[in-house]
Amino acid sequence: MPKQKTNSGSKKRFTLTGTGKIKRKHAYKSHILTKKTKKQKRNLTHAGLIDRADVKRVKALLAI
């Protein structure tokens, strides 16, 4: 049986941690930054982990 392909968009958006969790970046940090406050932009900088409900779906996209 052939291997499952990794979704190209997903491999650019998610990274695996050493313990196997999936890291993600926050949305709304790419453009139209002038109207956003410094605090809002600073808080969007920190990466987060994906929700437990989405782990199975994202792992399928990443073919892990």
Q: What is the pLDDT of residues 49-59, one digit of tens each?
A: 999 999 999 99
Low-confidence ranges of the chain (pLDDT < 50): none
CA distances from 19 to 16, 23, 38, 49 (A): 8, 11, 32, 12
**pLDDT score at 32:** 96
**pLDDT score at 26:** 95
**pLDDT score at 59:** 95
Task: Determine if the pTM surpasses 0.85.
Answer: no
**pLDDT score at 1:** 85
47 DSSP assignment: -
**pLDDT score at 20:** 93
